[in-house]
Amino acid sequence: MTKIKTAMIAGGGIGGLVTALKLHRMGITVRVFESVETIKALGVGINLLPHSVRVLTELGLADELKAAGIPTAELLYVNKFGQKIWQEPRGEAAGYHWPQYSIHRGRLQMLLLKAVKEQVGEHSVRTGHHLKSFQMMGGVVTAQFENRKTGESLGSYGADILIAADGIHSAVRKCFYPDEGLPKFSGRILWRGLTEAEPFLTGRSMIMAGYQDQKFVAYPVCPQTAQEGRSLVNWIAELAVPGEGPSRSDWNRKVEKDVFAAPFANWDFGWLNVPRLIEETKDVYEFPMVDRDPLPQWSFERVTLLGDAAHPMYPIGSNGASQAILDADALGEAILEHGDAETALRAYEDARRGPTANIVLANRKNGPEMVMQIVEDRAPNGFTSLNDVITQRELEDISNQYKQIAGFDREKLNQIVGAL
Ligand SMILES: Cc1cc2nc3c(=O)[nH]c(=O)nc-3n(C[C@H](O)[C@H](O)[C@H](O)COP(=O)(O)OP(=O)(O)OC[C@H]3O[C@@H](n4cnc5c(N)ncnc54)[C@H](O)[C@@H]3O)c2cc1C
C-alpha cells in the first residue's frame, strides 16, 4: 500500500484552496496550480451553510470568517407582491452550532489564499499555470501546464494524486468525458450586483421574491458596512429567456441594466425597493443558469474531480461553495482512513458523488424555492390568507426535505460536535 505524500490541485478557487488547507493538515505536500495570472477578489455574494462553516472552523478560519461575512439570521420567501410565504431562522439563530455566512465570493477566496500561503507556504500556489493535460504512469500522475494567454509551455509536475478543482469548464473532466460539451442551460439568466443601501428587515436577512421565471434574491454581505448602519446588498435578478442562451458561461461578463430591469420596475415592497437597488448599482454581471448532468464516475486511479468540476449545480439553496468545501473535507477524511491513493479517491467519490447528484437534480426542480412556484401557480394575483394557498405542513416538509438532501439537517449536523 503506497501512502499519499504529495498532491497536485488544479484550480485555486474555493474548492481547490480549501482542499490545500485540508491535505496540508494531514502532512501531505500540496501544490495548487491556478490558471489566472493574478487571483483577484472576483464575483459577488455567496452563502456558506453551517456544515461548510464547520469545516472552515476546523481549519482555523472562524475569526477570519466572522470578520469577512454577515451571519445570516433568517431566510424569507415572498411572492412577486412581497407577501410572505415562508420565514425561518438561519445559522446560529436556528440553533446550529455554526453560523451561516453571507459573504463576498472574492473576499472568501482571498481569505483562503492568505491562509494557504501562511499555512502551506508562500510558494504553494502557482498562478498563471493552466492545466493542459496529464498522464498516470508508474505510480505517479504527471500534468503539463501552459500560460493560458500566450500558450507558452510551463513544463510538467508530478505528484501521487491530482485533484481537479478547475471549475465548471474543467479541463480534467473534459479528458474523462470528451463528448460532454457545454454546460446545460436552464433557460434562465442571472444578473448579479452589489450596492450599498438602507438595511432591510433584520439587517441580516436573506430574501427571495417571485417564482421560477422571475425572481429576485437579496442579502447583505459586508460586516464593516453593517457597523456603519448600512448594508452592502448582494442581489440577483433572474428571468426566463427565450432561445438557447449564451454559448459560454463566464462569471465576470458585465452587461447594461436595461437588458433585464423593466420586469422588476413595480417590485417595490416597501421594506425592499428592488428597482432602486438595481438603479443604484454600478456594475451588473450576467451569468446563464447552467449545470451539468451528474457523472457516473469522478475518480480514475490517481485523479479525481472536486467542486464545480465534479458537480456544477444551479445556484439554488446556497450550495455551490458549501458543497465544494464539503468535498475537500470528505477527500481529506478518505485519505486519512485509507492512505492508498486509489482506494482513498474511490472512498471520497463514494461519500460525495451520490449526495451531490441529488442536489443537482433537486435544484433543477427549484430546490427549497419550489414553494415560491407553488404559490405563483395557485395564487398568481396574490392572496388574502396564505393558508388558503399552501399549508404550513407543506411548507415545512419542503424546507426539511431539502435540508436533508443538502446535508444540513440541524439535528444531524449538531451531533457531529460530539465527534470533534
Ligand atoms: C471568477 C469567478 C467568479 C465567481 N462568482 C460567483 C458568484 O458571484 N456567485 C456564485 O454563486 N458563484 C460564483 N462563482 C462560482 C463559485 O465560486 C463556485 O460555484 C463554487 O465556489 C465552487 O468552487 P470551485 O472551487 O469548484 O470552482 P471555482 O470557484 O469556479 O474555481 C475554479 C478555479 O479553477 C481555475 N481553473 C480553471 N481551469 C483551470 C485549469 N485548466 N488549470 C488550473 N486552474 C484552472 C479557475 O480560474 C478558478 O480559479 C465564481 C467563480 C469564478 C471562477
Q: What is the mean pLDDT of residues 174-183?
A: 95
Residue of the CA atom closest to atom 6 of ligand 1: 43
For residue 303, the Cα-to-chain-centroid distance in whole angstroms is 22
The per-residue pLDDT for range 206-216, each reduced to its tens digit, is: 999 999 999 99
What distance in Å separates the CA atoms of residue 408 and residue 324, rounded to the nearest whole number? 14
Coil/strand/helix, residue 193: strand
Residue of the CA atom closest to atom 7 of ligand 1: 43
Percent of the chain with pLDDT over 90: 87
Tell which one of 14, 37, 48, 170 to mutate to probe ligand 1, the residue whose CB is within 8 A of the most ligand atoms: 14
Q: 106 C-alpha vs ligand 1 centroid, how far in Å? A: 10
| pTM score | 0.95
The per-residue pLDDT for range 6-20, each reduced to its tens digit, is: 999 999 999 999 999
The per-residue pLDDT for range 219-234, each reduced to its tens digit, is: 999 999 999 999 999 9
What distance in Å separates the CA atoms of residue 208 and residue 77, rounded to the nearest whole number? 5
What distance in Å separates the CA atoms of residue 48 and residue 297, rounded to the nearest whole number? 26
Residue of the CA atom closest to atom 1 of ligand 1: 42
pLDDT of residue 419: 44
What distance in Å separates the CA atoms of residue 334 and residue 306, rounded to the nearest whole number? 13
Would you place residue 411 in the very low, low, confident or very high pLDDT band (cuts 50, 70, 90)? confident
Tell which one of 166, 206, 287 to mutate to probe ligand 1, the residue whose CB is within 8 A of the most ligand atoms: 166
Beta strands 101-104 and 70-71 are antiparallel
Q: 22 C-alpha vs ligand 1 centroid, how far in Å? A: 18
pLDDT of residue 247: 63
pLDDT of residue 33: 98
Does the structure show a pLDDT above 90 at 323? yes
Q: 244 C-alpha vs ligand 1 centroid, how far in Å? A: 23
Q: What is the mean pLDDT of residues 314-323?
A: 90
Handedness of CA 294, 299, 300, 306 (dihedral sign): positive
Q: 81 C-alpha vs ligand 1 centroid, how far in Å? A: 34
Question: CB neighbours of 384 closer than 8 A, spacing ≥ 6?
Answer: none
pLDDT of residue 2: 58
The per-residue pLDDT for range 369-403, each reduced to its tens digit, is: 999 999 999 999 999 999 999 999 999 999 999 88
Q: What is the mean pLDDT of residues 292-311?
A: 98
Does the structure show a pLDDT above 90 at 41? no
Q: What is the mean pLDDT of residues 396-416?
A: 88
Does the structure show a pLDDT above 70 at 106? yes
pLDDT of residue 318: 81
pLDDT of residue 1: 52
Q: 167 C-alpha vs ligand 1 centroid, how far in Å? A: 5
Going by C-alpha positions, the residue among 114, 158, 201 that lies closest to residue 7 is 158
Going by C-alpha positions, the residue among 287, 292, 288 that lies closest to residue 356 is 292
Going by C-alpha positions, the residue among 84, 170, 88 that lies closest to residue 134 is 170
Residue of the CA atom closest to atom 13 of ligand 1: 43
Q: Which fold has domain 6-42+105-182+293-365?
A: FAD/NAD(P)-binding domain (3.50.50)
The per-residue pLDDT for range 129-144, each reduced to its tens digit, is: 999 999 999 889 999 9
Residue of the CA atom closest to atom 11 of ligand 1: 46
Residue of the CA atom closest to atom 5 of ligand 1: 43
Tell which one of 19, 22, 33, 35 to mutate to probe ligand 1, the residue whose CB is within 8 A of the most ligand atoms: 35
Mean pLDDT of the chain, nearest integer: 94
pLDDT of residue 3: 86
Would you place residue 251 in the very low, low, confident or very high pLDDT band (cuts 50, 70, 90)? confident
List all residues whose CB is within 6 A of at least one atom of ligand 1: 10-16, 33-36, 42-44, 46, 105, 130-131, 165-167, 171, 192, 251-252, 307-309, 315, 320-321, 324
pLDDT of residue 420: 42
Q: 172 C-alpha vs ligand 1 centroid, how far in Å? A: 14
Q: 165 C-alpha vs ligand 1 centroid, how far in Å? A: 8
pLDDT of residue 417: 62
DSSP for residue 34: -
Does the structure show a pLDDT above 70 at 343? yes
The per-residue pLDDT for range 153-164, each reduced to its tens digit, is: 999 999 999 999
Would you state the cell numbers that stand for residue 102, as one nine-digit string? 453571507
What distance in Å separates the CA atoms of residue 118 and residue 248, rounded to the nearest whole number? 35
Domain ranges of the chain: 6-42+105-182+293-365
Q: 323 C-alpha vs ligand 1 centroid, how far in Å? A: 13
